[in-house]
Structure 1
Amino acid sequence: MGSVTIFPETGNDRAPRGRFVRQGYLAGFALVTSLFFLWAIANNFNDILIRQFQKALALNRAEAGFIQFVFYLGYFTMALPAGMLMRRFGYRAGILCGLGLYATGALLFYPAAEIREYGVFLAALFVIASGAAFLETAANPYIVAFGDPERASQRLNFAQAFNGFGGFVAPIIGGLFIFSGVEHSAADLAAMSPARLAAYRASEAQMVQTPYLVLALVIGCIALAIAFVRLPRIEQQRADSARPSGLLPVLREPALAGAVIAQFFYVGAQVGVWSFFVDFTKELSPATPERTAAFLLSISLMLFMAGRFIGTALMQRIDATRLLLVFACINIGLAVIAALAGGWTAIGALMLTSFFMSIMFPTIFSLGVKDLGGRAMLGAPLIIMAIIGGAVFPPIMGLVSQWTGHIQPAMLMPAGCFAVVAVYAARVRRIARRALPIG
C-alpha cells in the first residue's frame, strides 16, 4: 500500500481541487479502470450465451433468460460480504478476491461444456458474478476516491467508459468465437437422427470453452499486476461519530435510498434490452444471421461506450442530474418505439437506447455515495446489490415473449424502468436546488 491516507469524509489529504487523478497513482488508476472492462466482458458474454444455450442445450427463451437471473443473483448475495471483507482487509484484498472468483468461474466453463449440464453452467456463472460483485463493490467507490470529490461523477463516467468498451468488444468476440455460424431451423433439427442431434449440440456447447479459458488467463495477469502496483490507502474508520453507521441508518439517507431503487430498475432495463437484442433482431428481420445480429449488438454497445465519453465531457457544462433526466426521458421514447414500431425502425431504436443508458449507472452510483464519506463502504454494496434488477426483468421479459409469441411487447418493461430513473433524477435535482443558498 502507498503511504498516503485518504479520509473521504473529513477531507484529510484530499487531492487538490480540479485534479482528475491524485499524483503518483496513475498506474493504479489505470489498473482499477481495467476492472470495469473485465466485468463488462462477463456481463455481455451472457447476451451471447442466451442465444447459444438455446442451441446447445435446447432451451426456450424463458429458460435461457434464467442465465441473467443466476448471474445477477450472484451480485446480490455477494456485494455485502464483499463490502465487509474490504472494511476488514482493504480494497486491494477485495479486488484480488474478486479476480480469483472470476477466474475460477471462467475455468469451470470447460467441464460444464464437456458434460452439457445447464446447472453446471449456471453454477459457473454464479461464481463469475460473485467475483464481479467484489470488483464492482471495490472499483466504483475507489474511482470516486482517486481524486477531487467534485469531479467524482466525471471520473466514474470516464472509468465506466471502459466498461462500455468491454461491452462493445464482448459481442464481437462472442459472435466470432462462441457462435459457430451453423444455424438450423426447427424442422432441420426434428429431421436429424438422435446421434447427429447430440453431436451438433455437443459441438455447440464446446464453443464456449476456448473464450473462457483465455479470459481466465487474462484475469490472472491482471491479478498479478494489482498485487504489486502502488495504490492509495483508503481508511474508513474516521467517519463522523454524529452520524450512525449501521446498514439501516445508511440506507435511510435519501440520496442512497433513491439510488438503490433507481439502480435496480436501470440495471433491469439494461440487461433486459441487451439480453434479447439478438432474438429481437432475428424476430424482426429473420434473414439476418446470428453473427450479424451479434455485430449489431456490438455497434449498440459502441454507442454505449461513446455515450460515456461524451457524457463525461457534457458534465463539464451540464449538471449530472439534468443530463440523467434528459437521457432517461429519451430512452422512454426509444423503448416505446422499439416495442410498437416495425422492422429496422424498431431495431434502430433499440440500438440507440444504449447511447442514452451510458451515463446512468455511474451517475446514479456517484450521486448515491457522494455524501456518505466514511460510510461509503456500507453504501456502495447496497447499490451494487440493486443490480439484482438484472436478475428479475429478463426472465419476466422471456415469459412475456412466450405468452405473446413475440419479443417486441416485452420492450415496454424497459420503458417503465427508464421512467423510474427519470423520476429519481428529477427528485435529486429538486433536492439539490432546495439546498442551494439563497442570494
Structure 2
Amino acid sequence: MTRKPLSNAAAIAVVTLIFFTWGGLTSLNDVLIPHLKAVFDMNYARTMLIQSTFFGAYFLMSLPSGAVVARAGYRGSIAIGLVVAAVGAALFHPAAALPSYPLFLGALFVLASGLTLLQVAANPYISLLGDPAGAASRMNLAQALNSLGTTLFPWLIGPLILSTAVLGAGEIAAMNVAEQAAYRAQQAQSVQLPYLLLGGGLLLLAVFVLAMRLPTLRDAAAAVEKTRHGFTDALRLRRVRWGALAIFVYVGAEVAIGSFLINYISGPDTGGLTEATASRYLALYWGGAMVGRFAGAALLRRVDARRLLALFAVVAGLLLATTMGTRDQLAMWSVIAIGLFNSIMFPTIFAIAIERLGPLTSRASSLLVMAIVGGAVVPWVQGWLADRIGIQHAFAVPLACYVFIVWYALRGSRHEADAEPVGDAEPLR
C-alpha cells in the first residue's frame, strides 16, 4: 500500500531539522577561527580564509546545486547535500592528523558544498509549503531553528575544541622545532572527534530524510527545465538583483561579527575572557538570532516585512556604532545584542526576493544562495582592516552593510520597476 505524503506541517517540521543542522555547522567556524589561528600562528587576514573558503563554496556550487535540485527534486537533493557535508566533516580527521591548514580548508569547502545544496533546496521548498502570504513567516520560523543550531553547537562543542589552553606566541617561540610540531598536532587533533560525530549524525539524518514522504509540490526547479526562463530572466527583476546584494552584505556582516567575536570579547578592553569562556558568549550572539526569529515569525503576520527589516537593520547599525565607540561591558554586550536584530534579515530578504516568481523561483533561489559568498568576502576585508587598525574600528565594514540593508528594505525591494509578476501568488504584507 502506498503511503500518503506528509502534511505540509509535518514536512515543515522535517525540513526545519535540516535548518537546525546547517546552522550549527556554520557557527562552528567561529570556534575554529581562534583555534586554528593559534595552531598555525596566523594573522587575521590569513585566518579569515576559513570563512572565505567556506562561503566561497556557496558562490561556486550554487548553480550546480540548482541543476541537482531540478533533476533530483527537493527530498533527493537534501539527502545528497547531507551526505556531501558528512564527507567534508570526516575530512577533518586527516587534516588534524597531519596537521595541514590547506587540508582543513579543503574539508571546509566540501562541507560547505553540501550545505549549499541544502540551502538551494530547502529555502524555496519551505517558502512554497503553504499560503504564499505566509512565506516570510515560515522562513523566519525555519531560520529560528537554524539559530537554535547556531546557539547550541558553540555552547556544547566549542569548549571541546577550545578545551586545551592556548600558549602565547612567545611561549611557542621558546620551544624547539619538535616541541612546536607536537604542540600544534595536539591542538589540531581536538577537532577530530567532534567532527567525526557530526559526520555520523549527518549520514543518519540523510537516511531519515529519505525515509520520509515529503510532499512533491509542483517544483519550481523542475518547471524551469520545461520553460524558457533562466537566470537572466530572474536578474531582470530589481528585487532579485538588489536582493542578491542584500544577502551578500547581510551574510557578510553576520559572519564577520561572529568570526571576530571570540577574539574581540577576550581582549583586555572588551571583556578579558578566556577563549573557552568567550565561546559561551558566542552562543548568546547566535541565541539572540533564534529568539528574534521566533518573535519575527509572529510579528511578520501583522507587520509589513519591509518595514520590520528596515527597523532591525537600523538597530543593528546603532549597536555596532555603540561597540565601536565604547569599552568594557558596554562594548561587549552591544556587539552580542546585534544577534537579536540580525534575526529576521536573511529569511525576510530571501522571501521578499522570490515572492511571486513562479517557475523562476529555483533560478532566483540559486542566485540568492550564490550571494552567501558575502560571508567569504566581508570577513576577509574586516580581517585585513583589523590587522591595521584593530578589531574594534574594523567593525565599520559590517556597519556599512547594515546601511545598505536599510536602503534595500525601503527602496530596493519594491516592485515598481519589475516586469509583470510570474505566477499567481499574493505579495507579502
Q: TM-score, normalised by structure 2?
A: 0.92
1:322 aligns with 2:307: yes
> In the aligned structure 2, how far is the partner of 1:154 from the partner of 1:226?
23
Equivalent residue, structure 1, for 2:259: 275
> In the aligned structure 1, how far is the partner of 2:168 from the partner of 2:66?
47
> In the aligned structure 1, how far is the partner of 2:356 from the partner of 2:272?
52
1:106 aligns with 2:99: no
Q: Which of 57, 65, 78 matches 1:82?
A: 65
1:381 aligns with 2:366: yes
The question of whether the paired residues in 2 share the 8 Å contact of 1:82 and 1:134 is answered with yes
The question of whether the paired residues in 2 share the 8 Å contact of 1:27 and 1:229 is answered with no
Alignment of 1:187-198 (within 5 A): 187-198=170-181
Alignment of 1:235-254 (within 5 A): 235=218, 236=220, 245-254=229-238
Instruction: State the Cα distance separating 1:258 from its structure 2 match.
Output: 1.7
Alignment of 1:145-224 (within 5 A): 145-224=128-207
> In the aligned structure 2, how far is the partner of 1:204 from the partner of 1:297?
21
Instruction: State the Cα distance separating 1:257 from its structure 2 match.
Output: 1.3
What's the CA shift string for 1:375-430, capped at 9, x where partnerless? Answer: 111110100000010000111111111112x1111101111000111000001575
Equivalent residue, structure 1, for 2:118: 135
Instruction: State the Cα distance separating 1:37 from its structure 2 match.
Output: 1.0
For residue 119 of structure 2, what is the amino acid of its counterpart? E
1:143 counterpart SS class: helix
Instruction: State the Cα distance separating 1:164 from its structure 2 match.
Output: 0.5
Relative distance call for 1:190 and 1:265 in structure 2 (3 A) is same
What's the CA shift string for 1:218-242, capped at 9, x where partnerless? Answer: 111110011110111133355799x
What's the CA shift string for 1:265-286, capped at 9, x where partnerless? Answer: 1011011000010111122346
> In the aligned structure 1, how far is the partner of 2:42 from the partner of 2:223?
52
1:183 counterpart SS class: coil
Q: Which of 23, 43, 54 matches 2:37?
A: 54
Instruction: Answer with 202-211 or 89-98: which moved more.
Output: 89-98
Task: Name structure 1 gaps, 5 residues minimum.
Answer: 5-22
Instruction: State the Cα distance separating 1:196 from its structure 2 match.
Output: 2.5
Equivalent residue, structure 1, for 2:288: 303
2:7 counterpart SS class: coil
> In the aligned structure 2, how far is the partner of 1:25 from the partner of 1:32?
10
1:256 counterpart SS class: helix
Displacement over 4 Å in runs of 4+: 1-4, 237-241, 428-432
2:123 counterpart SS class: helix
Q: Which of 402, 414, 435 matches 2:398?
A: 414
Relative distance call for 1:2 and 1:408 in structure 2 (3 A) is farther
> In the aligned structure 2, how far is the partner of 1:34 from the partner of 1:278?
27
For residue 231 of structure 1, what is the amino acid of its counterpart? L
1:423 counterpart SS class: helix
Equivalent residue, structure 2, for 1:401: 386
Relative distance call for 1:3 and 1:428 in structure 2 (3 A) is farther
Identity of aligned residues (%): 37
For residue 134 of structure 2, what is the amino acid of its counterpart? R
Q: TM-score, normalised by structure 1?
A: 0.90
Equivalent residue, structure 1, for 2:411: 427
The question of whether the paired residues in 1 share the 8 Å contact of 2:124 and 2:361 is answered with yes
> In the aligned structure 1, how far is the partner of 2:171 from the partner of 2:122?
47
The question of whether the paired residues in 2 share the 8 Å contact of 1:275 and 1:394 is answered with yes
For residue 272 of structure 1, what is the amino acid of its counterpart? A
> In the aligned structure 2, how far is the partner of 1:97 from the partner of 1:429?
33
The question of whether the paired residues in 2 share the 8 Å contact of 1:2 and 1:232 is answered with no
The question of whether the paired residues in 1 share the 8 Å contact of 2:239 and 2:415 is answered with no
How many equivalent residue pairs? 417
> In the aligned structure 1, how far is the partner of 2:323 from the partner of 2:335?
6
The question of whether the paired residues in 2 share the 8 Å contact of 1:108 and 1:124 is answered with yes
Query: What RMSD over aligned residues (CA atoms) do the two structures have, in Å?
Result: 2.3
Relative distance call for 1:295 and 1:390 in structure 2 (3 A) is same
2:48 counterpart SS class: helix
Equivalent residue, structure 2, for 1:9: none
Equivalent residue, structure 1, for 2:214: 231
The question of whether the paired residues in 2 share the 8 Å contact of 1:181 and 1:290 is answered with no
Equivalent residue, structure 2, for 1:369: 354
1:147 counterpart SS class: coil
The question of whether the paired residues in 2 share the 8 Å contact of 1:107 and 1:212 is answered with yes
